[in-house]
Chain A
Amino acid sequence: MQSQSRNEVALGVRNLTLSYDREPVVQDISFDVPRGAIVGVLGPNGAGKSTLIKAIVGALSPDLGDIHVLGTSGKDALKRMTYVPQRGSVDWDFPVTVRDVVAQGCYARLGLWGKVRGKEAKVVDEALEMVSMTHLQHRQIGALSGGQQQRVFLGRALAQRGEIYLMDEPFVGVDVKTEEAIVQVLRMLRDEGRTLLVVHHDLSTVREYFDHILLMNKHLIGFGKTEDIFVPDLLQDAYGGRLAIFEHGEGTL
């Protein structure tokens, strides 16, 4: 992507606020993500990272706030987003196959009754190929390793083909091979001009994976280029006392 479209705002969030039982979880967060960015969403446990992502994709309704995607809002904006939930959020004993789950990505276009065949079946084939799950497509999803399960979720997102991908902890509990495969897919999506927000835990890989960082702890602590945000001062603001662990590891960054 050239510098002109680089400056285009892909995802704009204004004053997003969300609470459970009047207990604020996400407080007044605003930021603009440029098109083609890979954004790491960082913060300690309980910082509201997952909640923020869910509110952006419409899985939770915020108390307050506006969300814009490439100049659209409301339902049109939701249609351009693709959500990859946490692997632990579903029951993997559910009687569906790998192919069934990846095909759910087509539902965004097919609605409640459209059949997955012809062009859409091809989309599913390609998505399975991209996450190297073609050989396991007829397997029940419980009979997979953690990394394979994460690739199934990624395959579903690829079949959906949104402009903005929002992923909740895609690297948790996956093997090295899957982690590399996911990073490759993220970069491929970015090179196609798509924008990605990824909730992430492992601070040691942040510089390698993300060109932008959203640092939060209930409220926004910083949003911008990785080199500007991934600095000890701001990280101390976000992680507080837990910084000791970070400083210990900083030498390796």
Chain B
Amino acid sequence: MLYELFIEPWTLGDWMQRGMLAATLASVPCALLGVFLYLRRLSLVADALSHTALPGIVVAFLFSGSLSSPVLLLGAVLSGGISTAAIEYFSRSRLIRSDAAIGIVFSSLFAVGVILLSVFVKDAHIDTQCMLFGDVLGISTESLWTLGIVSPLIILCVLACWRVLVLTSFDEEYARALGWPVSLIHYALMGGVAMMTVAAFEAIGAILAIAMIIVPAATAHLLSDRMKHMAMWAVAHALLSSLAGMYVAVWLDVSAAGAIVMVGGILYLCAVFFSPSHGKVTSYFKRRQGKGSSVTVPS
């Protein structure tokens, strides 16, 4: 019984191994980037970037004629950069609010992508279903290679820029006063997110990449009081939901990406209710024990 449930899927060909590899490679860097997007209150921007990548991908596809070429990544990073700059420009100009700026820029650029796709690439097999939702258990070797290169690269960059990412997320003005390149780091972070959503789109799709970016960070914030712990919890959440999600997908014969994100959502709910410091249920019991949930300490 246990053997059938947990071991057997790994022995029926190599798709479980490949799927787990793809899910790990996709989810760990997404979780790390997500920690910083979440803390900068830019969760919505991840959504925007995964959509605005589309016109970049289509244009790059028109030039290269291939779907798994590094040119696609470049196209996505470029359109990510353009949309980040456009969002910044509109929000700074005070013509519109920043949330509206994000909505306008991403939907317009996504529409451009859809039109380009329908006009120029009608006969190409860009599968919109696959682009949005991915196919983690049927991932191609090219996509695995792309992920295998992009994902360690992103992880290394995040670790190398750790201090500047933390300080610019926490106190941007102080970082500027220290003379640190605050805007450059902002664009690098956005470029990383654009690159990651594209590298991951065959595995998890553009829509579900957003969940991979935000849900681990949101869960981890409930469980940790320090940056390092938050990053570790986010990665743990990403790995656990990938593994459990793949099992659920195999057992119930449902979409793997859907199952991964659903498990991630359930883990988030568990953190909301049972987090030792912030959980709804835990603080209820703390109150009942008369300890009080107030954390303010008189000096």
Contact = CB atoms under 8 A, between A and B. Distances in A.
B166 interface: yes
Interface stretch (B24-32, B226-234, B250-258, B261-269): B226-234
A6 to B, nearest CB: 27
Interface string B218-238: 000100111101100000000
A159 interface: no
A107 interface: yes
Contacts of B229: 95
With a 10 A CB-CB cut-off, give which of B41, B163, B230 has the most chain A CB atoms: B163
Interface stretch (A54-62, A223-231, A237-245): A54-62
A143 B295 CA distance: 5
Interface in A80-119: 81, 83, 85, 89-91, 93-97, 100-101, 104, 107-108, 112-113
Contacts of B169: 94
Interface residues of B, number: 31
B173 interface: yes
Contact of A95 (B164, B179, B221): B221
B297 A144 contact: yes
A85 B178 CA distance: 12
A90 B230 contact: no
B177 A94 contact: no
B230 A95 contact: yes
Contacts of A108: 178
A112 B299 contact: no
Contacts of A20: 94
Interface of A is mostly: mixed
A112 B161 contact: yes
Contacts of A143: 295-297
B177 A113 contact: no
Contacts of A78: 177, 179
A90 B94 CA distance: 21
A107 B176 CA distance: 12
B90 to A, nearest CB: 13
A85 B173 CA distance: 7
Contact of A58 (B166, B176, B225): B176
Contacts of A177: 299
A57 B171 contact: no
Contact of B176 (A59, A79, A91, A175): A59
B36 to A, nearest CB: 11
B13 interface: no
B192 to A, nearest CB: 17
A185 B169 CA distance: 28
B283 to A, nearest CB: 14
Nearest to A147: B299
A95 B224 contact: yes
Interface string B168-200: 011101101111100000000000000000000
A96 B179 contact: no
A90 B225 contact: no
B226 A107 contact: no
Contact of B177 (A57, A95, A100, A145): A57
Given A85-B173, A95-B221, 8 more contacts: A78-B177, A94-B39, A95-B225, A96-B227, A104-B171, A112-B163, A132-B299, A147-B299
Interface of A: 20-21, 54, 57-60, 75, 78-79, 81, 83, 85, 89-91, 93-97, 100-101, 104, 107-108, 112-113, 132, 136, 139-140, 142-145, 147-148, 156, 175, 177-178
30 contacts: A20-B94, A57-B177, A58-B177, A75-B179, A83-B173, A83-B177, A85-B174, A90-B170, A93-B221, A94-B170, A95-B224, A95-B225, A95-B226, A95-B227, A95-B229, A97-B226, A101-B170, A104-B171, A107-B167, A107-B178, A112-B163, A112-B164, A136-B297, A140-B225, A140-B226, A144-B296, A156-B174, A175-B299, A177-B299, A178-B299
Interface of B: 39, 41, 93-94, 161, 163-164, 166-167, 169-171, 173-174, 176-180, 221, 224-227, 229-230, 295-299
Closest 8 CB pairs of A and B: A140-B225, A83-B177, A59-B173, A143-B295, A57-B177, A59-B176, A95-B230, A90-B171
